[in-house]
Structures are given as C-alpha cells and as structure tokens.
Amino acid sequence: MGERCLARETPARESRGARPATSASKERRPSPESASCCVSRLKALAATGRKTAEEACSWLRCHCDDPSLDDPIPQEYALFLCPTGPLLERLQDFWKESRRQCARNRAHEVFPHVTLCDFFTCEDQKVECLYEALKKAGDRARASFPPALPLALHSSGSYLGFFISDGPADLIREFAMVFASEASVLADCTVKPCTKQLHLTLAHKFYPHHQRTLEQLARAIPPDPSCQWTAALYSRDMRFVHYQTLRALFRYEPQNEDELALSPGDYIFVDPTQQEEASEGWAVGTSQRTGCRGFLPQNYTERASEADTWVKHRTYTFSLAVELSSRKDGEASGRQGGEFAAAQPARSVGTLQTLQAALARRRVLVVRHGERVDQVFGKSWLQQCCTPDGRYHRPDLNFPSSLPRRSSGLKAFENDPPLSSCGVFQARMAGDALQASGIRIAAVFASPALRCVQTAKHILEELQLERRLKIRVEPGIFEWTKWEASKAPPALMTLEELKEAGLSVDTNYRPAFALSSLTPAESYDDYVDRCAVSVAQMVSACPQDMGVILIVSHGSALDSCTRPLLGLPPRSCGDFAQLVRKVGARSCPFGPQSCALGGTGPTHTPASIQSQQPGASSRSPRRVQGPKDLGHLLLLSQATVESWMESGAAGT
C-alpha cells in the first residue's frame, strides 16, 4: 500500500504545474486515496517511534502488502520507570542466570522495570501530544523526585521482586498521575496510573521448587539507592497482545502462495489457539516486519520475549545531568549487547581450561542414537501399532518387539519414541566396532531420551560391560528443545521407569540439569550453555586415569558437546542449524568406514552430504524408508572431531 501511495503521489507532483487553474479546488479536496495515504504515514510514524522519516518510509515499503495498512488501529502505550547503570547490569545478569538455572518464567518476557501507567490507546495523530505530556510531567516532578529509591526484596509462592518503600513510591505515583492528567488533556487519552504497591518484578509464575534458587540469586543483587532512573514511553501492537512471539533464525523463501517469507531477526506473532489449519512442524503467524500472514516452518524460529517487539518512543531522566545520564544509559545498553555475548565465552574459557587439563589422559566419544521408529514410519507410527483396546502389537519387523511400560501410557511415546529394530542393530554394530578397535570405555552418559538410553544399553552389551557400568542419565545434553515437536516440557521416562524397563541406569548420579529444568522452545544460547556446563560436569566426574568417556546423545550434540572440548566458541545459530541438517536421517558425513574409530580421524570425506531442509518443500508429513547402510549412527572421538572440522566437512 505504501508503494501504491508513492506511485500515486509522483504523477500528481509531475502534473501539478500543467493543471488548469479551474481544477485547483478539486485538487485540494481530499480523496479517499489521499486519506488512506495519510493514515498509512501516521501509522508508520507511530510504529517506528517517530524517530526519523527514513525509518517510517522503510516501514511503509516493507508493509506495502499489509492488508491492515489502511485500518485506523492505534498503538497501545505504557509508561515505565527503568533503572540504568550498574543496577541495570546486575538485573540483566540475574535475568540470564535465572533462565539458565530455573528455566523461563513470566518476568523474562519484559525488561527490568516499574510499571507507572498501564497500557492505553492513543490515536496516531496525537502521539506527539503524549511526548509533550511526558515532558511536562517530568519537569513538574523533577525537583521533588526522590534522590534514592530503597528497594526491599519480597518473595511469595509465585512472585519475587523488589518493593519500593512508601515515601518515595508516593512521589513516583504523583508523577504518574500528573502524566495521566496531561495525557488526557493534550492527547485525549484515558490513562490509568498505577495506584498499587510499586515493584520491580524479578520472577513471576515460576516452578515452586525453583523459589529457593531464585531467592539466592536475587540476594546477590546489591540494591543501588543512587541508581539513576528513567521514565520510558513504550508502545505495542494491540492486535497481538496475547500472542506468542517468535524470532526468525534463518531466511526462508516461500514455496507456496500461503507461506510467509522470513529474514533473520524477523519477529512473528503466533496465536497458539488458532493453529488447527497448520500441519505438524508448521505454524500460522503474522510478520511484524511486513504485516503479512501465512504459514512458516517452526524450526526456522525460536521463542522471543514479548517486549522484543515493543517500540521505545521517548524517555525522561530524573537528573539535572541529563546528558551525562543519557550517555551512561547508552553505554550500559551497549554493554548489555556485548556483555552477554562476551560473558559466555569468558565462562567458557574457564570451563575449557578445566576440560583440556582433564583430557590430558582421557578421551571423550560422542555418539548419536540409532534410528528412531518414527523416522521410518512417520508420526502416525503409534496408531499403526495400537490395538483398539490400547495394547501394543508389532505390525512390521522394523517396529520394536515390545514397548517399555510408562505411567503416562502409550501416548507419551509420540514425543519420546524408541529405537526401531534397525536402530538396535546399528547400536550393536557400533559396540562391536568399539570392541574390535580396542577402545576401553570407562564411563557412559546418555541423554534422557529413550532412544539414547537404549543405544547406550546395546553398545554396553556388545562391549560386555552392561553388568559393570551403569548409564548416567544427563538431561543437560538433551536435544535442543526448539526442535522438539511438543510445545510442552519434554515428557520423558523417569529413572525408575527406565530401570523397570531393564535399562541399567545410575540412580545415584546427580546431573548438571534436572529433568524439570528442560523447557520448550528454549533459545539457542540457553541450549549451548547447558551443553557446555553438562559436558564439563561429566568430564570432571570421571577420574583422570580412566579410559574413554562415552556420551550418547543427539545429532546436535556432535557439535554442541565437542566444541567446548576443543577450545572453540559456540557456532552462530545459523551455522549450527546448517551443520545439523547435514547429519541426515539416513546418512553419515563420513560413511560407514568412520565408525571403526581408530582414533586417527575419518578415513575419507564424502563427495556430497545429504542436506535436509526442514519444512523446505512440503507441509505434508514425510514418510521415510529405512536406511540401506549403517551410517545413521555417528561416532566421533576427540581426534575425529578435530580432523572433521579441519577437513571442512562440518560446514560454515
């Protein structure tokens, strides 16, 4: 629509001088098209925070096909009091550490803030008046604004945060009331200032067993009474308030008319209650960048925070040294973006030094699980083997001979499938290859996924170590939950159920991450971080004079669990996804010969690698036939990983 507006404007400017004077009155009369263009321009300015004309024009160009471009739907606005400087940095550290240790909670959806005014609507043509209202309210409150805000930690069953004491809180509430009054007069808005206890939320709606950990992390935040506070006016699109927000990780070119184009960094609004028309692995969403709606492959995205799509309009800093405050605030923001990126490598360096010292007399072997039954018979495999009375029967020889008992019933196998018969054969062949190569396995760790524990069991049986070694289940090396089909936390078998199924698991092992800490659609940074922490604990748990440590996990672990051992930083998310796609469901990057594992690296590099682009060709479920070779199971020693990466087969 924006392009059509520009196209209409250009001829008008070119022909204006040639028009007869008698038509001047008609030209001044607003047409429906010009009114539509006016609505679009105002919407573009409001959506970009009225910063520059260039940003508004760019927004219009991106939204040229937005069906709602001409709809006079206003933005929603809210006023927050935000900390800056060292306190903000400490709060951001808490945000990251609480997510790592205790999973995501509602507080992670928004940045650290104190709510002054709830969200309210304002017409696009009156947004400038809101800015004036903020300035007037700030000027009136500056002299009386409290020089320090004492923060008191408060904790309850589902809430953790700082409360602002009554004296300073009364002055802040007075500022909010003045802003609401000015906004009502200047911008004709109905603004509801906060009248309850002013608070800065640290955690909300978390698991009860995480409360103690969260409180310990919160007590490590030194309250800074001298912190400089800024009143910030934000806006959001009111149409997508209760939607889930996704962030595109990779570029996707639509292959059907009803699909959505994705560029890295795009934000997509998805209504979880309106996904009936989307098939497995796909979602229906609306792009914030273009306003268009369509189908998109879910594994091209990760979950984002609600506030990632909010737009900051104007701020007011309560200090006489406004310029100094703005500079410090900018520096803090810059540190935020770089500090998180640098902090993780900083922790990795210490972890790597420990790992490399521990590896002086040890080697780590990372193994991918064997073929899973749903890769052969599709997602409907469970329907094929269930009788009407809910019992299991074996309709094909590649189905497992039986299924272990689990308290949640057969339905739970949909998201935690077992090995196929071919997968069991692959695992035994891998154990046989290890036996023939003389590799001495001294400890075994496995992802909690059933297919991984089964693979470890069959390898140990071929090595004749099933009585001597127990499998230590480590949830921290479970698959990146973003790639799991389920939108709920992984429903995996407990240690008791695994033991009852004849799997020799170590019930005394204390994992780096509890099974309950796995959350759906985790970010890539969280996934890489838990893998690095988990592999560090697994290596440090084994004495230095032991033999090879065997880790049985998923295709993604071939990279995420080995790069810390090699002293390498995590790959970018895009490179990681491209690499894992090259580990095909029926192929091995080095062919069957590499499974011999003499410790000298792969015997050859293939001419081509099967690439599976998830969601790239069809939204229909794909039926995959069984493999014709034994290359599905991937085994890599430390030397093999080094040779693999040097050969360039790992991809870039």
* C-alpha 315: how far from chain center: 29
Nearest Cα residue to 369 out of 558, 548, 590, 209: 558
* C-alpha 445: how far from chain center: 26
Q: Which helix or strand (DSSP H or E) is residue 107 part of?
A: none
How many angstroms separate the CA atoms of 429 and 534, rounded?
Answer: 27
How many angstroms separate the CA atoms of 395 and 391, rounded?
Answer: 12
CA 284 vs CA 143, 298, 590: distances in Å = 51, 9, 38
Nearest Cα residue to 305 out of 246, 241, 242: 246
Beta-strand (E) ranges in 238-369? 244-248, 267-270, 282-287, 293-297, 301-303, 311-317, 363-368
Amino acid at 37: C
DSSP conformation class of 542:
S
Q: Which of 63, 108, 369, 632 is catalytic?
A: 369
Q: Which two tokens stand for residue 14?
A: 């070119």
CA 234 vs CA 50, 81, 194, 241: distances in Å = 12, 11, 16, 14
Please say if 406 is a catalytic residue: no
**Helix residue ranges, H only, 395-553:** 421-437, 450-462, 495-500, 524-540
Q: Which two tokens stand for residue 142?
A: 């500056």
Residue with tokens 């990632």: 308
Neighbour count for residue 304 (Cβ, 10 Å):
18
Produce one character per residue of 362-389: b if its CB has 16 or more CB atoms within 10 Å, e if not: bbbbbbbbbbbbbbbbebebbeebbeee
Q: What are phi and psi of 30, to 5 degrees?
A: -65, 130
How many angstroms separate the CA atoms of 596 and 430, rounded?
Answer: 8
Q: What are phi and psi of 346, to 5 degrees?
A: -65, -40
| DSSP assignment of 237-257 | EGGGTTSEEEEE-S-B--SST
Q: Which of 50, 104, 313, 368 is catalytic?
A: 368
Percentage helix, strand, coil, to 5, in the chain?
45, 15, 40
Beta-strand relationship, 159-164 and 151-155: antiparallel
Residue with tokens 């672990």: 557
How many angstroms separate the CA atoms of 186 and 593, rounded?
Answer: 76
Q: Which of 554, 563, 571, 632 is catalytic?
A: 554
How many angstroms separate the CA atoms of 455 and 466, rounded?
Answer: 12
* C-alpha 281: how far from chain center: 16
Spatial CB neighbours of 527, under 8 Å, sequence gap ≥ 6: 480, 481, 482, 556, 560
| DSSP assignment of 35-63 | HHHHHHHHHHHHHTTT--HHHHHHHHHHT
Please say if 369 is a catalytic residue: yes
Residues recognised as catalytic? 368-369, 554
